[in-house]
């Protein structure tokens, strides 16, 4: 998810200070199978933590929307489902004090935690991208009010004391259908829970296997990768300098069905956000891509930034998007979004018009779940780079194939 300024300023750099930078010694990442027994935490701690996986549930509503899994907060631990969100920094969970606006979700009861400390700060802000497929209708559609606090936070039975986070004490109605209670920021500068795990010796890297519903078994592996889900060599690409905690890569070219235009062969910095369902491009890029798919794809007037086309035309349209990046060995490689992602379903108020995959927002180039679910993705904080590999899912079932092996760096 991407927050707008209200949250960013206060939440990230105001209250908790600038995140501790990760070390930049270029540690070689070896892909080791996950074989950490749960429940041996004390033993592991002595020699540093080994990687472990957390199962994720796919929020499926016609299209894959969002993946979420459990963490615990408080003493004794209270289980809360959260989105592991590479597009944000902080942890927020809904509070029991939120009352009616949070009535559909599991909430955190701070009064029931002996280790909770409330911090005297409240922030209110808005989201500019999120879990649903629609763009924002108006600036205040997705708004929350947060209280700062601190408590023990854990995942997979491993806990970190004194993690600073926010409890959500109010929110707008647009959140009511979310099946999760909050968001765990997994930015490229570790904070909070993940930073605490790194301080306990967990390697500063994680792997994501966020699969389509038809495949299931989605998971995030913290501290390493799940080699059993990796079905090709890994292609690595460095984050551009000064990425400021954003998971992003420079892209040299966007192609549609094998064709491109002069305008689409321009360098763009594209954010990879596991907490956002759809794609966002700036208006000019969006128009250029849609022009290569069909002139019938047009802005959908009732929802600013959304595009659509008659539903009876959409399924016959080829719409293969190749986004070209450069690997750490200097070779181009493509990440491909297949035609099956073009249709994100009919607009709720206009069942004959189907929404198409890219929403436009000025100044934003971002891919989310609809791209990430086709690959195994590796998020390496230590070396500030991302890795991609085939996830073993057949192309017919939505798997992505890394077409160009020239860019592969052996690990």
Catalytically active residues, by annotation: 85, 273
100-to-126, 169, 174, 176 alpha-carbon distances in Å? 19, 10, 13, 10
x/- contact string, 233-252, with ligand NAG (CB under 6 A)? -------x---------x--
Please give the structure tokens belonging to residue 257: 């069905």
Cα 370 from chain centre? 10
Q: Does 332 bind ligand NAG (CB under 6 A)?
A: yes
The reply to whether 380 sits near ligand NAG by the rule CB under 6 A is: no
Residue 330 binding ligand NAG, by CB under 6 A = no
Is residue 349 within the footprint of ligand NAG (CB under 6 A)? no
The residue range among 8-16, 192-200, 228-236, 327-335 that interacts with ligand NAG, by the rule CB under 6 A, is 327-335
Token readout for 95 is: 């509070």
Q: Interface with ligand NAG includes 404 (CB under 6 A)?
A: yes
- CB of residue 48 to ligand NAG, shortest distance in Å: 25
Cα–Cα distances in angstroms (integers) from residue 225 to residues 29, 31, 192, 379, in the given order:
10, 6, 21, 9
CB of 237 to ligand NAG, least distance (A): 10
DSSP string, 157-179: TEEEEEEEEEEEEEE-GGGTT-S
Place of tokens 């909050």: 182
Query: According to CB under 6 A, which one of 58, 92, 151, 322 is a site residue for ligand NAG?
Result: 322
Neighbours of 345 (CB within 10 A): 15
Radius of gyration of the chain (CA): 21
Contact with ligand NAG (CB under 6 A): which of 35, 38, 46, 267? 267
- CB 406, min distance to ligand NAG, A: 7
# residues contacting ligand NAG (CB under 6 A): 32
**Closer residue to ligand NAG (CB): 201 or 311:** 311
Cβ 25 vs Cβ 382: under 8 Å: yes
C-alpha to C-alpha distance for 190 and 186, rounded to whole angstroms: 7
Cα–Cα dist 62/231, whole Å: 27
Q: Are 113 and 154 in contact (CB under 8 A)?
A: no
Token pair recorded at residue 175? 């959140």
User: Minimum distance between the CB of residue 46 and ligand NAG, rounded to whole angstroms?
Assistant: 28
Cβ neighbors of 170 (< 8 A, separation 6 or more) are 98, 101, 144, 145
Which one, 168 or 393, has the nearer CB to ligand NAG?
168
Span of 22-30, 62-70, 197-205, 296-304 interacting with ligand NAG by CB under 6 A: 62-70
Mark 71-110 with x for binding to ligand NAG (rule: CB under 6 A) and - for no binding.
Answer: --------x-x--------------x----x-------x-
* Residue among 120, 262, 316, 349 that touches ligand NAG (CB under 6 A): 120
Asked if 261 interacts with ligand NAG (CB under 6 A), we say no
Among 139, 302, 403, 405, binds ligand NAG (CB under 6 A): 403
Does 258 interact with ligand NAG (rule: CB under 6 A)? yes
State which residue, 48 or 240, has the beta carbon closest to ligand NAG: 240
User: Which residue(s) pair with 160 in the sheet?
Assistant: 153
- Closest to ligand NAG by CB, 48 or 76: 76
Of 61, 75, 329, 411, the one binding ligand NAG by CB under 6 A: 61
* Contact pick of 4, 261, 324, 411 for ligand NAG (by CB under 6 A): 324
* The binder of ligand NAG chosen from 2, 69, 135, 209 (CB under 6 A): 69
Nearest residue to 401 (alpha-carbon basis) of 206, 228, 233: 233
Please give the full DSSP string across 63-105, using - where no structure is assigned: EEEEEEEEEEETTTTEEEEEEEETT--SEEEEBGGG-GGGTTS
ω before 369 within 30° of 0 (cis)?
A: no
Regarding 55 and contact with ligand NAG (CB under 6 A), the answer is yes
What is the closest distance, in whole angstroms, from the C-beta atom of residue 136 to ligand NAG in the complex?
A: 15
Q: Is the dihedral of CA 89, 307, 318, 292 positive or negative?
A: negative
Question: Residue 93: which residues within 8 A CB-CB, separation 6 or more?
Answer: 73, 80, 82, 107, 108, 165, 166, 167, 168, 181, 182
Residues forming contacts to ligand NAG in the complex (CB under 6 A) are 55, 57, 61-62, 69-70, 79, 81, 96, 101, 109, 111-112, 120, 170, 172, 177, 240, 250, 255, 258, 267, 269, 284, 322, 324, 332-334, 348, 403-404
């Amino acid at each position: 998810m991407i927050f707008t300024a209200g949250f960013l300023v206060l939440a990230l750099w105001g209250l908790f200070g600038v995140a501790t930078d990760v070390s930049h010694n270029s540690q070689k990442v070896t892909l080791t199978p996950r074989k950490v027994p749960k429940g041996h935490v004390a033993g592991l701690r002595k020699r540093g933590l080994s990687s472990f996986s957390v199962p994720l549930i796919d929020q499926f509503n016609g299209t894959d929307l969002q993946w979420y899994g459990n963490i615990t907060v408080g003493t004794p631990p209270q289980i809360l489902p959260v989105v592991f969100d590479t597009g944000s920094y902080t942890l927020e969970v809904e509070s029991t004090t939120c009352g009616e606006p949070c009535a559909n979700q599991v909430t955190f009861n701070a009064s029931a935690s002996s280790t909770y400390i409330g911090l005297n700060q409240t922030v209110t802000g808005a989201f500019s991208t999120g879990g649903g497929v629609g763009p924002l209708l108006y600036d205040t559609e997705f708004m929350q009010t947060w209280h700062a606090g601190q408590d023990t936070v854990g995942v997979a039975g491993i806990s970190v004391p004194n993690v600073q986070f926010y409890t959500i004490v109010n929110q707008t109605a647009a959140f009511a259908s979310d099946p999760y209670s909050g968001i765990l920021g997994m930015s490229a500068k570790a904070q909070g829970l993940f930073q605490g795990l790194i301080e306990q010796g967990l390697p500063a890297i994680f792997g994501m296997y966020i699969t389509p519903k038809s495949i299931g078994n989605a998971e995030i592996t913290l501290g390493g990768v799940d080699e059993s889900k990796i079905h090709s060599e890994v292609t690595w690409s460095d984050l551009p300098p000064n990425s400021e905690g954003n998971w992003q890569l420079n892209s040299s070219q966007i192609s549609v069905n094998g064709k491109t235009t002069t305008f689409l062969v321009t360098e763009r910095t594209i954010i990879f956000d596991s907490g956002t369902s759809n794609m966002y491009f700036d208006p000019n890029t969006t128009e250029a891509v849609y022009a290569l798919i069909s002139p019938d794809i047009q802005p959908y007037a009732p929802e600013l930034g959304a595009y659509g086309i008659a539903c009876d035309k959409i399924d016959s349209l080829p719409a293969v998007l190749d986004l070209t990046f450069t690997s750490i060995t200097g070779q181009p490689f493509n990440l491909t979004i297949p035609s099956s992602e073009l249709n994100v379903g009919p607009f709720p108020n206009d069942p004959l018009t189907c929404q198409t995959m890219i929403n436009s927002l000025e100044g934003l180039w971002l891919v989310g779940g609809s791209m990430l679910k086709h690959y195994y993705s590796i998020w390496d904080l230590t070396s500030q780079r991302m890795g991609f590999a085939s996830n073993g899912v057949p192309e017919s079932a939505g798997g992505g194939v890394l077409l160009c092996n020239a860019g592969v760096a052996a690990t």
